[in-house]
Amino acid sequence: MMSKELKQVLIPGPLIIGAGPSGLAVAACLKKRGVPSLILEKENCMASLWNLKTYDRLRLHLPKKFCELPYMKFPSEFPAYPTKQQFISYLEDYAKSFSIEPMFGQEVRWTKYDRSMRLWQVEAKESKFLCRWLIVATGENAEPVVPEIAGISNFGGRLLHTSIYKNGADFKGSKVLVVGCGNSGMEVSLDLCNSGAQVSLVVRDKLHVLPREIFGISTFALSMWLLKWFPVSLVDGLILLCSRMILGDTGQIGIKRPEFGPLHLKNATGKTPVLDVGAVAKIRSSEVKVVCGIRRFTAKGVEFVNGEVQEFDSVILATGYRSNVASWLKEGNFFSQKDGYPKNPFPNNWKGEDGAYSVGFTRRGLYGASIDAQRVAEDIARQWKSQMKHLHLDL
């Protein structure tokens, strides 16, 4: 059967893949500089991760001033840590303010650079888009990570990823195992516990858990301020000392800290420390039980690496997300095929070859995405103005 011929659409300005915060930010920065752009989004809404794949109790983990997109502050009436719905409304107002209208339902199948035309080809749904500049803004959390654990398909209870979990209402009175102890795993465990579930939390590796605030000041903000004056090693020591005063020795509740401090690890590996919003107290009171890694699933539960076997009604995988860029960007120099991140680390991650750019792959959250957006827009705007100048001269 002959495949349907795709309609070709030439985009005069940059084509942006992804209508999350990163895509909106770079579109706004381009518009500020007089450069038109088009956003393609596979879902039918903006910020699909926030709209479709987050739990109800989610709030921004950092104070709002560190999460603002370029040229627009959060409303003054919003709390220091806006709720999920408040952040979504902020993004919607942001798009409206800059007249950003993404094309929805446009999942990109593949993208490659045509050297004969000196244009990017982007196949999505029923159209093939051609553009001079391609901006990858699908982000670090494009698709859920579901680990391969022995026997997982044999488990007869409810098994779901946190991308599907909304709240603990349906889990009251049931035995739930949460796999993964990052920010999502900790918060989901807390939410389940508050909803009356019997919760166990798998803590397989060493990790840093820090209080969200130290003496009323954001731990993140305090760290950033201290780094202006002191080296990372000293700031790490101060933060860990304060953390021990507030949270106690987490090693006593089964959460051992890594050898290196939280800021050192963040800079070296991109691994973000957990900011506690109440889960540590639940662990300390044994309302949430810490368990070791899983060896295999059984029909009714799991066998842990220490040989203990327990039954569970439900298992929730708080195992995070990953980039999916490598699956559709047919180019081997800019993004790594292994992890879907730009090969060059921050701050040199934002620009590739042949007019390819990235926004939101800094491992530094919304703050990093805003930095990327400004740099990308400035670079493209210079080329755009030069191109328009030559066009006028030719005419």
Residue 391 has pLDDT above 70, yes or no: no
Q: What is the pLDDT of residues 106-130, one digit of tens each?
A: 999 999 999 999 999 999 988 999 9
Instruction: Say what the pLDDT of residue 390 is.
Output: 55
Residue 1 lies in a domain: no
- Is 250 in the same domain as 359? no
| Element holding 2 (H helix, E strand) | none
Residue 2 has pLDDT above 70, yes or no: no
Residue 47's alpha-carbon distances to 24, 165, 322, 328, in angstroms, are 9, 17, 16, 20
Residue 173's alpha-carbon distances to 192, 248, 270, 293, in angstroms, are 10, 29, 37, 24
Return mean pLDDT, the chain: 93
Boundary of a domain, candidates 317, 348, 380: 317
- Is 197 in the same domain as 303? yes
Residue 394 has pLDDT above 50, yes or no: no
Residue 268 lies in a domain: yes
Give the total residue count for the chain.
395
Mean pLDDT of 293-302: 95
Mean pLDDT of 358-385: 94
Residue with tokens 């731990």, as numbered in its chain: 219
Tally of structural domains, the chain: 2
pLDDT band of 4, cuts 50, 70, 90: low
- Is 101 in the same domain as 150? no
Instruction: Say what the pLDDT of residue 221 is.
Output: 92
Instruction: Say what the pLDDT of residue 269 is.
Output: 83
Residue 59 has pLDDT above 70, yes or no: yes
- Is 267 in the same domain as 203? yes
Instruction: Tell me if 122 sits within 8 A of 107, measured CB to CB.
Output: no
Give the percent of the chain with pLDDT over 90: 88
Task: Choose between 4 and 141: higher pLDDT.
Answer: 141
Residue 130 backbone dihedrals phi, psi, to 5 degrees: -120, 130
Residue 91 lies in a domain: yes
Q: What is the pLDDT of residues 216-225, one digit of tens each?
A: 999 999 999 9
Mean pLDDT of 203-213: 93
Give the percent of the chain with pLDDT over 70: 97
Comparing CA positions, the residue from 72, 37, 17 lying closest to residue 381 is 37
Residue 153 lies in a domain: yes
pLDDT band of 5, cuts 50, 70, 90: confident
- Is 178 in the same domain as 289? yes
Comparing CA positions, the residue from 72, 94, 319, 295 lying closest to residue 184 is 319
Residue 161 lies in a domain: yes
SS3 category, 368 = helix
CATH number of the domain that 99 lies in? 3.50.50.60
- Is 124 in the same domain as 159? no
- Is 267 in the same domain as 348? no
Cα 51 → chain centroid: 13
Residue 2 lies in a domain: no
Instruction: Say what the pLDDT of residue 111 is.
Output: 95
Boundary of a domain, candidates 317, 349, 384: 317
Comparing CA positions, the residue from 383, 321, 328, 323 lying closest to residue 351 is 383
Instruction: Tell me if 258 sits within 8 A of 206, measured CB to CB.
Output: yes
**How many helices (H) and strands (E) are present in the chain, helices listed first?**
9, 22
- Give the structural domain span for 193: 145-317
- Is 246 in the same domain as 296? yes
- Is 74 in the same domain as 173? no
Instruction: Say what the pLDDT of residue 267 is.
Output: 84
- Is 311 in the same domain as 176? yes
Least confident of 252-261, 283-292, 329-338, 375-384: 329-338
Residue 300 has pLDDT above 80, yes or no: yes
pTM higher than 0.75:
yes
Comparing CA positions, the residue from 136, 38, 141 lying closest to residue 342 is 136
- Is 115 in the same domain as 262? no
Residue 393 has pLDDT above 80, yes or no: no
Residue 212 lies in a domain: yes
Q: Looking only at Cα atoms, what is the longest distance across the chain? A: 78
Boundary of a domain, candidates 266, 289, 317: 317
Task: Choose between 269 and 370: higher pLDDT.
Answer: 370
Residue 363 lies in a domain: yes
| Element holding 128 (H helix, E strand) | strand 127-131
- Is 103 in the same domain as 186? no
